[in-house]
Each structure stands twice: as structure tokens, then as C-alpha cells.
């Protein structure tokens, strides 16, 4: 089994996904241990000298002026976690929780939070042994980070709250006991360090981005297949057009589409087609799909920074003899990026739905109405386009940016917040909807290519068509198509064995 080492500096998005889905093991990198221990000793020194420092021996938020005695510091941390574990709604899935725990452990391993090594090791043990805290999704405003949902992770480290273990939901105490992990009594600063940060929105964002990147590749494949089925021309993908508008994503998509349709008999047979131009949803794939790719590149750049950033407060710098209260917990960079992620993937679905609509329309595609063998007796792909239209319309509502909203909390101490976790949840939903739309397009495009026989599609599109037909038979009469859609998504998630390269 692969092992991912965390040190707060070098975690990658792909490693986070490996831990989340492939259950890669996690360990604390030896070079991080000295930093962690040094920072913890500095906190313990503050406690012993009874110097007043926010988050160590004071109340929190608007109660920061309340001094806490040394004898009550452990109780302060426990009360903080208990009071803040108040998110609601459906719970995050196991993979999402694993990503969140990994990111929190990595942030703490950076050595700026002042927690004990034992605390980080407990998080690592929970990941490795499959103890997954139950975390309701709703309740974070995205500054001071994801307080409410992260508190549910902190609860389980204390032997409280609830967790899933071996597929069963149980009390946190029992889950730790069954996994042979000792519960902790949180010390100075540790409760605050566990809940103060952006790891929920960022964990969701990482998993969503990686899925979106794969969907962007699949969108080129689906679009190329639709292009063949609709007798459209690849002329608009000529490299000369891309040279005079030098967006990286546009160039990549145009190159993919050319490669996928290379040596197409369908295209050669219809070179004399009287159509002068194709609809934008075909002709402008490089411009639209390419813009999505460029947006995803920006989102990746933000998440690359965030997963290795200290988002706790206050932050501790032993070498400078400083404890500084700042705002690294504010989720605005992530919130803006995840709103952008949702908007971009909404467009990916939107243009896909337009291609589906073109395929089922004989006036555009010159194919049988609704791609049915006997239109009228059979409805064919009529509802496929209707479902895609519904999902695209839903995405329009979900694409309204969460980050433009703010509402004060904690008696106006936290007077501007990011709503980043709402942005993350919305982006996840948009991406899931986009996956469904692309699956419908693949099925419709394959059906359209069937009607072009005996002419063969290009090298790449032909390979895609064969793999679809190997798993899903042609629709010759109306049937229940829900199973087809499920199988198609399975193929997509395995990313076929097709490549955009010939």
C-alpha cells in the first residue's frame, strides 16, 4: 500500500485523493517532528508563565477578553469543541472526511499551531484505521474557517461524538476503542487548532477539482463523438485559428478534437456537405472547453497553496518569540476559486446539453428524430435531452457565487466571512450534474454514430464508440435507460482506455 508523508509543506492534490479513495496510508514525516515539538514547548512555556495570549488562556471570538486560569485550560478546550460541534444536515461521505482529516493533520504538521505530536498522530491513526467522524455538512460560514464541521472531528479525538467504523455508525469512544486508538484530553490551544481552518472547504474542493479535470478531458471525447454523429466539420479546430488567440486551454482542446477525429470516414464522405458553419456548441468547443480548462488551472493553483498553508489562529513562531493573531483562517481565496470551479463546470454541462439537443433534432443533425429507429412508436433520446436540460437549469441556480455573500457572526467580531464551504458544496453538486449530462451525450453520440454506418468515425472516436457498445447495446426500441446511464458513468470513471492521442 502506498504511503503519503505529511510535513505541512509538500502534500499534493493527487496524494489527498489517494488517501481519500485508495486508502493510502499516512505518516508524519520525520523532518516535521522537530518543528512540531519545538512549537509545542513554546505553548507550554506560555501556559507556565501565565502570559495572556489569545487562544491559549483566553476565551474565543467575542469572548477574547476573558482570561482563563491555568487550571481551567483543558476544560476551555473541551468546552470549545463541545459548543462548536453544531453543524446540521446530511453527513459528508467517508472519502470526503478522510480528505479533511488529512488536510488538518498536514496543516498541524507544519509546526505553527502548537499542538502535541500525539494529537497529529491520533488524526493519522484515525485515517489509517478507518475511523471516520460523522460530520453534518451545513453550518460553516468559512471564517474562522470551518469551525462547526471540524469540531466533529475534534470530538472523536476526545472519545466523544460519533464515527463510522467498519461501515457502522457508533459513538466516538467506541470507534476509537475498536480501532485501538487512545482518546485524548486536549491541552492548551489544541481544541482551537483542530477546528480553526479551511480544511473542510479545501478537502471538498480538492476532490471536486480532480473530478472536474477528468470531466474536462471526457467533454472533449464526448464532443468529438457528437461532432462525428452530427456531420460537423473539424475545420474550426485548425491550428491557425488557435495561433491567433493564444489561450493554453483552447489550443489543448483543439488539438484533442483534431486527434480524436483523425482518419474519420464520416468526415471524408461528407466533405462536400453544403453546410457552411456548424452550431456554436460544436464549432466553439475549443473556446468553451478551453476556457473551462484554464479556469480549472487557476483553481488548482489556489488549492496547491491552500493544502500546505497554516490556517490556524493564532499562529506561533518560536524562533521569532511571537504568537500572532491574524486571519489565515479566512476562506476567501478558496471560496472565490470554488465558485469559479462551479461556474466553469456549469458551462461544460451547458454546451454538452446543446450538442445533445442538436443530435436529436433532424433539422440540425440529419438523423432520425430523437435518435429513434422508428420515431413516433419510439421516443428514443427525448427524455435524455429533457433530463440534461433539467440538470443544466439546476446548475444555473447553483452557480450563483456563495462568496459574494457575508453575514456577521460572533457579535460582529467575525463581521466578514467567506461562505467557502457553501461554495464547495455547490461546486460538488454542479460537477455531479455535469457528469450526468456528459454521460447522456456519450450515449446519444454513440447512437448517432450507429446511424452513420458503414462509415467509420475517427481513430479516437471509433475507439470510444467501440467501448461504449461493448458495455451498452444500441437502442433499437424504447427501453429502460437508467441502467445505460449508470454503465456509461462507470466507463467514464474508468476514463475508457481511450486517449485523446491517436
In sequence order, the 6+-apart residues with CB closer than 8 A to the CB of 428 are 204, 207, 208
Convert 72-94 to b/e letters by CB count within 10 Å (16 or more is b).
Answer: ebeebbbebbbebbebeeebbee
Q: Which residue in 23, 24, 32, 30 sits closest to 3, CA to CA?
A: 24
**Rounded Cα–Cα distance for residues 84 and 145 (Å):** 12
The grid cell for 286 is 475549443
**Rounded Cα–Cα distance for residues 183 and 85 (Å):** 17
In sequence order, the 6+-apart residues with CB closer than 8 A to the CB of 140 are 87, 146, 147, 148, 149, 200, 201, 420, 421, 422
Please report, for residues 54, 128, 186, 341, the alpha-carbon distance to residue 324 in angstroms, rounded to integers and kept in the order given.
9, 33, 21, 32
Cell 436529436 -> residue: 360
Q: Is residue 502 reached through a cis peptide bond, with omega within 30 degrees of 0 on the bond before it?
A: no
In sequence order, the 6+-apart residues with CB closer than 8 A to the CB of 90 are 136, 137
Catalytically annotated residue among 42, 54, 247, 298: 54
The grid cell for 100 is 479533511
For this structure, is 54 an active site residue?
yes
Cell 457502522 -> residue: 168
Q: What are phi and psi of 71, to 5 degrees?
A: -70, -20
The grid cell for 364 is 440540425
**Rounded Cα–Cα distance for residues 108 and 9 (Å):** 11
**Rounded Cα–Cα distance for residues 73 and 83 (Å):** 15
Q: Which residue in 259, 267, 258, 283 sits closest to 229, CA to CA?
A: 267
CB contact at 8 A, 130 and 140: no
In sequence order, the 6+-apart residues with CB closer than 8 A to the CB of 231 are 266, 270, 273, 275, 365, 366, 452
- DSSP helix/strand/coil, 97: helix
Q: Which residues are catalytic?
A: 54
Amino acid at each position: 500500500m502506498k504511503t503519503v508523508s505529511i510535513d505541512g509543506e509538500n502534500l499534493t492534490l493527487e496524494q489527498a485523493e489517494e488517501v481519500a479513495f485508495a486508502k493510502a496510508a499516512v505518516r508524519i514525516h520525520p523532518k516535521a517532528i522537530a518543528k512540531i515539538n519545538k512549537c509545542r514547548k513554546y505553548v507550554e512555556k506560555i501556559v507556565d508563565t501565565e502570559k495572556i495570549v489569545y487562544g491559549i488562556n483566553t476565551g474565543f471570538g467575542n469572548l477574547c477578553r476573558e482570561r482563563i486560569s491555568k487550571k481551567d485550560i483543558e476544560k476551555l478546550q473541551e468546552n470549545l469543541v463541545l459548543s462548536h460541534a453544531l453543524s446540521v444536515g446530511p453527513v459528508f461521505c467517508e472519502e470526503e472526511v478522510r480528505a479533511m482529516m488529512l488536510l488538518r493533520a498536514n496543516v498541524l504538521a507544519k509546526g505553527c499551531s502548537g499542538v502535541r505530536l500525539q494529537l497529529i498522530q491520533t488524526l493519522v491513526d484515525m485515517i489509517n484505521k478507518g475511523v471516520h467522524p460523522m460530520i453534518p455538512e451545513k453550518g460553516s460560514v468559512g471564517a474562522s474557517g470551518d469551525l462547526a464541521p471540524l469540531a466533529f472531528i475534534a470530538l472523536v479525538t476526545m472519545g466523544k461524538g460519533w464515527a463510522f467504523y467498519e461501515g457502522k455508525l457508533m459513538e466516538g469512544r467506541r470507534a476509537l476503542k475498536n480501532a485501538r486508538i487512545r482518546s485524548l484530553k486536549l491541552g492548551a490551544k489544541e481544541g482551537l487548532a483542530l477546528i480553526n481552518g479551511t480544511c473542510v472547504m479545501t478537502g471538498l474542493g480538492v476532490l471536486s477539482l480532480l473530478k472536474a479535470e477528468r470531466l474536462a478531458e471526457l467533454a472533449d471525447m464526448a464532443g468529438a463523438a457528437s461532432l462525428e454523429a452530427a456531420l460537423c466539420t473539424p475545420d474550426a479546430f485548425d491550428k491557425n485559428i488557435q495561433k491567433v488567440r493564444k489561450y493554453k486551454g483552447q489550443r489543448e482542446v483543439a488539438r484533442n478534437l483534431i486527434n480524436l477525429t483523425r482518419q474519420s470516414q464520416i468526415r471524408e464522405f461528407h466533405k462536400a456537405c453544403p453546410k457552411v458553419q456548424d452550431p456554436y456548441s460544436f464549432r466553439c468547443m475549443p473556446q468553451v472547453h478551453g476556457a473551462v480548462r484554464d479556469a480549472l488551472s487557476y483553481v488548482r493553483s489556489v488549492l496547491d497553496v491552500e493544502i500546505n498553508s497554516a490556517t490556524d489562529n493564532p499562529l506561533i513562531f518560536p524562533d521569532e518569540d511571537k504568537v500572532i493573531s491574524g486571519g489565515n483562517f479566512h476562506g476567501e481565496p478558496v471560496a472565490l476559486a470554488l465558485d469559479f470551479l462551479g461556474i466553469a463546470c456549469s458551462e461544460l454541462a451547458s454546451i454538452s446539453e446543446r450538442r445533445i439537443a442538436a443530435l436529436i433534432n433532424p433539422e440540425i443533425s440529419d438523423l432520425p428524430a430523437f435518435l429513434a429507429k422508428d420515431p413516433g412508436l419510439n421516443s428514443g433520446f427525448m427524455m435524455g435531452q429533457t433530463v440534461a436540460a433539467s440538470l443544466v437549469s439546476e446548475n444555473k441556480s447553483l452557480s450563483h457565487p456563495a462568496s459574494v455573500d457575508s453575514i456577521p457572526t460572533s457579535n460582529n467580531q467575525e463581521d466578514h466571512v467567506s461562505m467557502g464551504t457553501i461554495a464547495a458544496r455547490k461546486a460538488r453538486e454542479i460537477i455531479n450534474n455535469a457528469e450526468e449530462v456528459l454521460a447522456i451525450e456519450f450515449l446519444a453520440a454513440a447512437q448517432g454514430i450507429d446511424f452513420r454506418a458503414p462509415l467509420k468515425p475517427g481513430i479516437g472516436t471509433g475507439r470510444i464508440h467501440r467501448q461504449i457498445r461493448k458495455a451498452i447495446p444500441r437502442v433499437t426500441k424504447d427501453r429502460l435507460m437508467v441502467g445505460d446511464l449508470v454503465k456509461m458513468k462507470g466507463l467514464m470513471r474508468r476514463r475508457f482506455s481511450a486517449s485523446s492521442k491517436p
